[in-house]
Amino acid sequence: METVEEHVPATTSREDNFVAGVIASCQQDKGLAARLRRADNPATEYQSWELLAAWGIDLERDDQRLPFATVAAAIARAKVDANGRLALGRAMADCYKDGNQSDQAKARLRRLLACDELAELCRLLRPVLTLVESRVGKPLDYARLLKQLRRFPFAAQQVKAQWAQEFYGRKAEAGEDA
């Protein structure tokens, strides 16, 4: 049996390696991909534990397990070929015609920014990531998102500030570019 690491190109961080490994695993094993799509649902999350344990993730610790499960589920649902470059905040704005001026987009962002607990954040991210996957033509930077989720319990304000900057810091739309 092949190990997880055999599918992973040499990259710089654990998060990069995990994302590349999940993408490769999903492409090779459709059954695993189906199980991973349910990894961010508390009732079916256990179906991803085999993969998570193979990556050395402590399944008993929410702060370890939830970020990896959330990102693995998003990757499996998006069916991506490679990690993207799109940051979460920008992707949320890109979901709406009015971009970062959309009231719906602002409300979704504010809801994420109001989170204080990782479990709540990961639960709220599920529909956001599904929306991004369905409305935005570019893949997310899943490694960056995973790094942010892993840091959230220790540096929540910094992670929230990054998402707000990505969302609001976009260039002004057509009328203000001139």
| Max CA pair span of the chain | 59
Percent share of the chain, pLDDT over 70? 89
**CA 46 to chain centroid:** 18
Instruction: Provide the 3-class DSSP secondary structure of residue 86.
Output: strand
Alpha carbon distance 56, 48 (integer Å): 13
User: Could you read off the pLDDT of 64-101 as tens digits, one per residue?
Assistant: 999 999 999 999 999 999 999 999 999 999 999 999 99
Alpha carbon distance 89, 93 (integer Å): 7
Q: Structural domains in the chain?
A: 11-170 (1.10.520.40)
CB atoms within 10 A of CB 7: 16
Q: How far is CA 159 from CA 44, 48, 170, in A?
A: 27, 26, 17
Q: What is the pLDDT of residue 15?
A: 96
DSSP state of 138: S
Given a cut of 70, whether residue 110 has pLDDT beyond it is yes
Q: What is the pLDDT of residue 10?
A: 52
The token pair at 69 is 């499960």
**Residues pairing with 86 in the sheet:** 140
- How much is the mean pLDDT over the chain? 89
Given a cut of 60, whether residue 17 has pLDDT beyond it is yes
First-to-last CA distance in the chain? 59
